[in-house]
Structure formats: C-alpha cells, structure tokens
Amino acid sequence: MNDSSCAKKKSRAPTAKQLLFTTALEHFSRNGFEGASLGQIATDVGIKKPSIYKHFSSKEDLFIKVLLHTEHEVKRRIMRYFTDHLKENGLKETLQAFPHFLLEEYEKELSFCFLLRQAFFPPQMLTRDVLEKITPLLDSFEKMLTRRFKELAPDMLLSQPAAASLAYITIIDGILAEMLYAGMNKAQRRIDAAWPIYCRGVFTPDKLLQSTVKN
C-alpha cells in the first residue's frame, strides 16, 4: 500500500499554476516583460488566456511572482554552494571559486539567468518592485559573508569583516556586469585581475601567517 502511494506521488502531474510558473519563466527570460505574451504562455501551458487570471491578477502579478520564485531558488543554491564548499575548503578558496560558480549558473540555470538580467535591466514600469524583491537577497548575502569572515581567526584578516564583505560583493557585481555586457571571456579577465589584488588587501599572506605560528 505504501509502495502504491509513493508511485502515485511520483507520477503526479504538475498543476496548471506550476506549469504557468515554469512557462512564464521561459517566456520572460527569452522575451523580457514587454515582449512576453500571456496568450502565448497560456497556449504553451494548454489553457485559455482567461484561465491565467484564476491564479494571477495581471501580467505584472505573474512577473513579480516568477521573480520571487527565482529569488528564493537562487538564494537556496548560493547558500548551498557555501555550505558544501566550506565543508572541504577554507573561506578563501570558497570565495575564489564562487565567481566561476556564478558564471556556470548563468549558462545552465534559467532562474539565475532571469534574476540576474532583471537586476541589471528591470522593466521600466516595474523597476521599483523588482529592486525591492532583489535587495533582500543581496542583504542576506552580505550578512552571510560578514558572519563567515568573523569566524576566521583575527590574524588571518587585514580588513574588518564588514568591509571585506562589501569589497567582495563589489567585485562580484563588476564581474557579473562585465559578463552581461561583454561576455564570458571578459568576465574571466576581471576575475583573474581582481582576485589577487583583493586577497592582498583582505587576507594575511600565508608566509606571514606561517612565521607567526613558528614564533
């Protein structure tokens, strides 16, 4: 009886609302808010356009709900990245690899691609709403980084944890902007140039740490 119950759960088809979410995400990502058509979204889901309004009050409402969904998903994936990497690596190594993780996410994860493009190019009529939804993600990321920096031994840092976090976020922001405007190769050049300079200003050099331990 339990096996049959599990089988039913596994084979349960997505609801119309779930299909609307995934389909709308594809359309908004590909065509933007202005270019996406509710009629085409409804057709792809297999429903009539008026049926959309059973779940969402307007195109704007659907867009914002999709944005919130992707914000939660991106936050979950970022936090999981840090949790997983910090189990096997130090904070310095985890931060060094994080930009590469983001570039990969942009190429393979539609939710991150959509959220990032909206952060830089929000619909004009929804700019305030979009930024209000995205800002909490940035704030939580900054707080998480500051907490991680505070967990390090004081002699490992040349900078205050809060300043180290803000400087790192500034670098990430520049890398992502370069990726959107100029492509992956230019973004990689920024990573290669910025990381060594960031390390020299934030982390105590390994040789100096080693001599301190010996003394």
Q: Residues 150-160: pLDDT tens digits? A: 999 989 999 99
Q: Encode pLDDT of 111-139 as tens digits.
A: 999 999 999 999 999 999 999 999 999 99
Q: How is residue 210 written in tokens?
A: 């080693």
What does the alpha-carbon distance between residue 32 and residue 113 come to, in Å, rounded to a whole number? Answer: 12
pLDDT tier for residue 207 given thresholds of 50, 70 and 90: very low
Q: Is the pLDDT at 6 greater than 80, yes or no?
A: no
Residue 48 phi/psi, 5-degree rounding, is -85, 150
Considering the chain, tell me which residue range(s) the CATH 1.10.357.10 domain(s) occupy. 70-214
Above 80 in pLDDT, residue 4?
Answer: no
Return the pLDDT at 11.
52
Per-residue confidence (pLDDT) for residue 10, from 0 to 100: 53
Cβ contact 175:194 at 8 Å:
yes
Looking at residue 158, what is its pLDDT?
Answer: 93
Give the per-residue pLDDT at 17. 84
Distance of CA 105 to the CA centre of its chain: 8
The answer as to CATH 3.40.640.10 being correct for domain 70-214 is no
Q: Which of 139, 135, 97, 102 is nearest to 118 (CA)?
A: 135
pLDDT surpassing 80 at residue 9: no
Confidence class for position 16, pLDDT limits 50, 70, 90: confident
Domain with CATH 1.10.10.60 in the chain: 13-56
CA-CA distance, 70 to 137, in Å (whole number)?
A: 11
Class of domain 13-56: mainly alpha
Rounded (10°) CA dihedral 52, 121, 78, 146: -130
